Amino acid sequence: MKPTAFLTLLLLLGHASVFSQESQPLEAKEGNETNNLPPDPFGEIGEIEKAPDFARPVDRSRGSFSLDAKDGTYVPGSHFANWLWTMKAERWGNFYAGLVYDSMRPKLGVQLKIGDAAVLKGYAPRTNPIEENEPMVIGSVYLPKSGEYPVSLLTGDQSNVPAFNVKGILFRPAPESEPHGQSIDGLIELEAKTATTYAEALRYEPKPEKNCLGFWKHKEDWAEWVFEVSAPGTFEVTLHYGNGGGNVGNRAAVLINERTLEFDISDTGGYQQWKELKLGKVELKTQGENKLAIVPLELNGAALMDVRKVVLQPVK
């Protein structure tokens, strides 16, 4: 056979082999997966684990207050608009400031000024027209005292029209500091300043000799800590508190996810005479966000107690 004819034969055989392979259907592997499909990049991602809710109902609206658009003064401008209010704060402390609005615009710049306490800036994105939207938190503001504060909201365009309609400002309680994470030895320490006080009177007292939750004179006031657990396990719960003035008969509960630990509050000899009270053991199963709250059960006398911190010590 001549060399040219031999090469021609090889090319024809190669084309026939390719055609034969391409004409065959893809064979499925076990589990109905074909050979040419890449692995699913999201195949091993499960749902984020969530800690159980408290066994007792709590009121997270307590301590919040709002400024409604109908109670404010609207001042339009050529390229901006101003809203003006006089706000009356019932107590001092830290608050999240949230803008309540509807918008069909992609985003619009806003600036909120609360007296001399804070100037907060942000961008308000488009809202969902078919459901109720949560207030957009612009930032947090520390109110150093109760009383009246002038409040102004500057928007980057008209903000009383269908395209962008301001409804008001919502202020809700905020912690004064972020909690520390779980330490390397497993300890979880929840200080008073990292609690959110859903309250009309209860608040964090920053004086060095106090550094505690105080003014706990309403049974409806309560406090909550939101904290991260990196190493779940069993923990001994210890409350650091003070109580004085002859207050007797007070009773409260610590809520830790779905667990409830009730306890009696004794007189320690003074509100800043701190006592450690071991409340029992709990198992924290969820890695990530967990919650702990203190709620009054019985309040007699001037105040429930002062709380400096709650400590969760791992049980080995």
Question: What is the average per-residue pLDDT within 164-192?
Answer: 95
Name the average pLDDT for the chain: 88
Q: Which of 26-40, 57-71, 260-274, 301-315 has the lowest mean pLDDT?
A: 26-40
For 49-93, the pLDDT digits (tens) are: 889 999 999 999 999 999 999 999 999 987 899 999 999 999 999
- Whether pLDDT at 138 is above 70: yes
Q: Is residue 44 over pLDDT 70?
A: no
Confidence of residue 305 (pLDDT cuts 50, 70, 90): very high
Domains along the chain with CATH numbers: 65-173 (2.60.120.260), 188-314 (2.60.120.260)
Give dist(CA 62, CA 254) in Å, integer.
18
Better pLDDT: 41 or 153: 153
Looking at residues 12-36, what average pLDDT do you find? 45
pLDDT value, residue 309: 98
- pTM (predicted TM-score): 0.82
Instruction: Identify the CA nearest to 113 among candidates 194, 169, 175, 41.
Output: 169
d(CA 276, CA 205): 19
**What's the CA gap between 137 and 127, in Å, rounded?**
14
With 0-12 CB in 10 A as exposed, 13-18 as middle and 19+ as buried, what is 6? exposed
- pLDDT surpasses 50 at 32: no
Residue 24 vs residue 54, higher pLDDT:
54
pLDDT for position 36: 64
If one compares 154 and 44, the residue with the highest pLDDT of the two is 154
Residue 289 has pLDDT above 60, yes or no: yes
What order do you get walking across the sheet with 196-198 strand by strand? 196-198, 222-229, 288-298, 251-256, 259-264
